[in-house]
Amino acid sequence: MSVAAAINTRDASALPGKRDEDWRWTDLRGLIRAIPDPSEPFAGDVGRGPFDGLAEDRRVLVNGGETRIDVAAGQKAVVALRVLARGAGSHATMVAVTLGPNARVRLLESYESDGGSVSQTTLSITLADGAVLERVVLAQDHEHAVSVSQAEVRLAPRADYAQTVAASGARRQRLETRVTHPGGHAVLRLDGVYLLAGKRHSDQTTVVTHQNIDGTTAQLTKGVVRDQARGVFQGRIVVAEGADRTDARMGHHALILSDRAEVDAKPELEIYADDVSCAHGNTVGALDEDALFYARQRGMPAGVATAMLTEAFIGEVIDRISFEGARDVVRAWAAERLGG
């Protein structure tokens, strides 16, 4: 079942749903009775994107379309990619990113919708030997939107891929990353942050397949949910037979700030190799009452104390973004959402 195919054929019955193991917490089939009409081409002003000031190469895709980002061997680039949905139609978008050997790229991606659209984006990202990519994704969708982003990442040996997905949810929002990891001293960092309020839903799903020896994966996702919001984290790391000396760490930690908010988490390690170092940790809970009282005894009202403690909680992930400009954008985004 493919979301893109369902949109392109306008066949809602082709959408993935709760009977698909990978989609059981993000049931699009149960939600969408009919795929909306195709989105109209959009020619109006799209305003500024969150990363515009940081990039010389700026790409804007509105209501579908395609773009290719090719960076040749040894070249450097900072690219801001905006994927916009205007209106309440449906569309699919295609993005191809190719880095030649030792290319160094910062890809700053944003999803921005303004209504009840149903949209899907396919990204195909390929890194050659020794290429370095830092991908920062800010998903700022409309509360009525259904937004799916699916990235397929292929790494060559000695590649260095780092990703941080920051999401504030939508009616349904899913950010999916599948990485084929060749080992060979390639390094992967796969982080996420979700800050959800109202009735918003956000799903971060990752699958990493270590295919050969000497691969590293470090994954840290943190979320804060309040009101009736729902966060979903599915992380799977597969270590194939023979992928020895793989070092993989996965952490997912969420704070639930109201009785009616929900977090569903499924961290999985599937290990078929013998000599590996893998670990995962998963915690879901409330804010530490002792720390909250400590801050309040010093004079902070509950809202201020909660904002400070949740920002610090999320800050651990944001601090791992190495591109300072993007880190500041994500930090400001988080502060705005957590502000007391």
Q: Residue numbers of the site for other proteins (CB under 8 A)? A: 288-291, 293-302, 304-305, 308-309, 311-313, 315-316
The least distance separating other proteins from the CB of residue 193, rounded to whole angstroms, comes to: 13
The nearest distance, CB 301 to other proteins, in angstroms, is 5
Nearer to other proteins (CB atom), residue 279 or residue 312: 312
Q: By C-beta, is 63 or 164 nearer to other proteins?
A: 164
Considering the complex, what minimum distance in angstroms separates the CB of residue 259 from other proteins?
16
CB of 318 to other proteins, least distance (A): 10
Please identify, using beta-carbon distances, which residue of 30 and 301 lies nearer to other proteins. 301
CB of 289 to other proteins, least distance (A): 7
Q: Are 246 and 210 in contact (CB under 8 A)?
A: yes
Q: Distances from the Cα of 149 to the Cαs of 109, 110, 118, 158, 249, in angstroms?
A: 11, 11, 11, 26, 24
Euclidean distance between CA atoms 19 and 17, whole angstroms: 5
Cβ distance to other proteins smaller for residue 234 or 310: 310
Residues 97, 67: Cα–Cα separation, whole Å: 9
The amino acid that residue 62 corresponds to is V
* b/e sequence 134-168, b meaning 16+ C-beta within 10 Å: bbbbbbbbbbebbbbbbbebbbbebbbbbbbbbbb
Token pair for 107: 């890809």
Nearer to other proteins, 230 or 253 (CB): 253
Residue 312 contacts by C-beta under 8 Å, 6 or more apart in sequence?
Answer: none
Residue showing tokens 């295919």? 211
Minimum distance, C-beta of residue 316 to other proteins, in the bound complex (Å): 6
One-letter amino acid for residue 141 of the chain: D
Residue nearer to other proteins on the CB measure, 191 or 311 = 311
CB atoms within 10 A of CB 127: 26
Tokens read off for 230: 């729902």
Q: How many CB atoms lie within 10 A of CB 292?
A: 17
Closer by beta carbon to other proteins, 40 or else 288: 288
Q: Which residues pair with residue 71 across a beta bridge?
A: 99
Distances (CA, A) of 267 to 13, 36, 205: 29, 34, 10
The least CB distance from residue 261 to other proteins, in Å, is 20
We find the least distance from the C-beta atom of residue 253 to other proteins, in angstroms, to be 12
- Please say which residue, 33 or 298, places its beta carbon nearer to other proteins: 298
